[in-house]
Amino acid sequence: MFDVDLFVIGGGSGGVRAARIAAGHGAKVALAEESRMGGTCVIRGCVPKKLMVFASGYPAAFEDAAHYGWQVSAGDFDWGQFRARLGAELDRLEGLYRAGLVNAGVTVHDSRATLVDPHTVRLADGTELRARHILIATGGRPFVPDFPGREHVLVSDDIFNLERLPESVLIVGGGFIACEFACILQGLGVEVTQYYRGAQILRGFDDEARGHVAELMQEAGIRLHVGCDVEAIEPRDGGYLVRGRDGSERVFGAVLYATGRVPNTDGLGLEAAGITPGRRGEVPVDEWSQTVVPSIHAVGDVTDRIALTPVAIREGHAFADTLFGNMPRTVDHGLVAAAVFTQPCELGAVGLTEEAAREKGPIHVYQAAFRPMRQSFAGRSMRVMMKLVVCAQTDRVLGCHIVAPEAGEMIQLAAVAIGMGATKADFDRTCAVHPTMAEELVTMRNPVRTA
């Protein structure tokens, strides 16, 4: 009755992991991807963005080097050269993803696939395949609200393919994508203005931490305007005239919208298969990543749970182990670390924010802000922040928030301890590694406040 045991729609991180693991368990697997293998993370997101973060950090590093006795100068940034190297690296990674599938025995279809019914998918050329199980892993796409002139804006997917960098850019949005690209482009020499309609950027993160990041971004030269939104955009003078809702008008070389992402389900055929999409277009699933249709599952951003690549990979792996490996397991979405790669400091977070923890009961808050040794020696006034949110009744560390260079690296290790249920006493018993920024996490003795 079936051509394959599993048909995966989407070649991003979650879909590829599920396909490979299922094939390793002996299942006959096929996968369809209409764009490039690797999905958002490898081709249009995490990987190229992080490489741009690295590139944009060199001007500050050159400045600091002079204070350490090095005679260096940054010179001019060659966007064309960097973009070519970036493209070659993405080609290499895409090749690895494809080879991993082929070597695992997965049949790859470079085609769009849509649902026909609970067991049938149709490829772009009209070919229909029957599958015992179908996994939807189509990810998400950038969202741009409807307003006059929306056709003139860029989205994050476009940045990596620009022929040249603009002299000035307006970035609209206050999430991690908007803030990261604001820092990246500012570091590459672009004059950056950022509008966010809310009261503070990075909604959902700890209030004190996101306020610290906002201050550092402004000190770095980013013109951040909160409580501000766009009314209309029109071409003007080789750029784009942006009218703000506050009555302001200004011309920018480009306008980048980073106002969130939505599940990529348009035209997928969910209704034909018996699935009603959620309010944002997501595929509703249970803790086993199963939809209301027993033969159809979904993982990753398309489910609108936690839109992070490692989460999608875990979901895809757990799905394959459960269905084809006789190892039933679910994914715990309750404690997931995250990092925002802003500059000069990143934001790393795991667990509860101070605000969320306070709602659950009494807490002790331990916090320290200081000038790190490397930047202090170079004459920079930048301050980093370390913060622990601790349950006053059990002494368990409920949350950790770090604003510092390489905060993403530090929060990964803190997440292990917090995931194991570490208490503040456990942190205190840990001997510091000196001199490091992270040693502050184990040397904070007295809470700055109790709530």
- Residue type present at position 289: S
8 Å CB contact between 398 and 363: yes
Question: Which of 286, 283, 327 has its CA nearest to residue 21?
Answer: 327
Is 173 annotated as a binding-site member?
A: yes
Is 179 labeled as ligand-binding? yes
Query: Is 397 within 8 Å of 386 (Cβ atoms)?
Result: no
Is 304 annotated as belonging to a binding site? no
403/138 Cα distance (integer angstroms): 33
Q: Is 163 labelled as part of a ligand binding site?
A: no
180 is in an annotated binding site: yes
Strands (E), 118-222: 120-123, 128-136, 140-142, 168-172, 191-196
Q: Is there a binding annotation on residue 421? A: no
Q: Is 105 annotated as a binding residue?
A: no
CB hemisphere CA count around 209 (13 angstroms): 32
Determine whether the annotation assigns residue 178 to a binding site: yes
DSSP state of 285: -
Give the integer Cα–Cα distance in Å for 398 and 343. 26
Q: Is 260 labeled as ligand-binding?
A: yes
Q: What is the DSSP letter of 434?
A: S
25 catalytic residue (yes or no): no
Catalytic residue among 25, 119, 225, 434: 434
Is residue 26 marked as binding?
no
Contact (Cβ atoms closer than 8 angstroms) between residue 173 and residue 258: yes
Residue 253 near residue 168 (C-beta atoms within 8 A): yes
For residue 231, say whether it is annotated as part of any ligand binding site: no
Binding residues for FAD: 50, 301
Residues annotated as binding site for NAD(+)? Answer: 173-180, 260
Q: Per the annotation, where are the binding residues?
A: 50, 173-180, 260, 301
The residues annotated with a catalytic role in the active site are 434
